[in-house]
Chain A
Amino acid sequence: QVQLVESGGGLVKPGGSLRLSCAASGFTFSDYYMSWIRQAPGKGLEWVSYISSSGSTIYYADSVKGRFTISRDNAKNSLYLQMNSLRAEDTAVYYCARVAAAAGYYFDYWGQGTLVTVSS
């Protein structure tokens, strides 16, 4: 069965950096676009970034552009999110999600999430 397991969250000071990882299993990872979505405490969902199956196409939300970098290693079935210059407003649960189809960027499987807290 499809499994997505995030890791790497934690407490970081404003201006700091953190790298999130997502380990995928149960499907052919290299065939699928992947994405990061976040949810601030008690708030709604915010799409953060997409990456194509090969890694050649990448999109970011304006709120993270220039600070966050999405990447993937298809040989390791892993997705990453490098987060730099972190701000208090980046505090959220970060979900890794599989994009259901290249023709439509909606999400059919989600990980359980990893909490990132940005605070001094």
Chain B
Amino acid sequence: EIVMTQSPATLSVSPGERATLSCRASQSVSSNLAWYQQKPGQAPRLLIYGASTRATGIPARFSGSGSGTEFTLTISSLQSEDFAVYYCQQYNNRGTFGQGTKVEIK
């Protein structure tokens, strides 16, 4: 099983600042990596697939990069609605999620 590790567990950021979230795979997943956002009491929402392609309707301040085993989600200027938990998911071999990074208000 491919293990996905996200860091940090919690990221404290002020509104308007940049947030950088990391996701590492235990073996190469090529570019088969997605990012999701989840707010309390809600289902996850797809943000990024193919490591760097924004899903429909996702603002340009969200960007993804990386391939192989190292991936990054960047939120260029945090808005109030962006404070949430973010999960990465590999889909190169079935599908496994990282444990999540909580982005909280500093």
Contact = CB atoms under 8 A, between A and B. Distances in A.
Interface of A: 35, 44-47, 50, 59, 61-62, 95, 100, 104-108, 110-113
Q: How large is the interface on B (under 10, 10 to 19, 20 to 34, 35 or more residues)?
A: 20 to 34
Interface string B82-101: 00000101010011111110
Classify the interface of chain A: helix, strand, loop or mixed: strand
Classify the interface of chain B: helix, strand, loop or mixed: loop
A44 B100 CA distance: 6
B32 to A, nearest CB: 6
Contacts of A112: 42-43
B43 A104 contact: no
B1 interface: yes
B34 interface: yes
Contacts of B36: 45, 107
Looking at A46, A107, A111, A112, the one whose CB has the most chain B CB atoms below 10 A away is A107
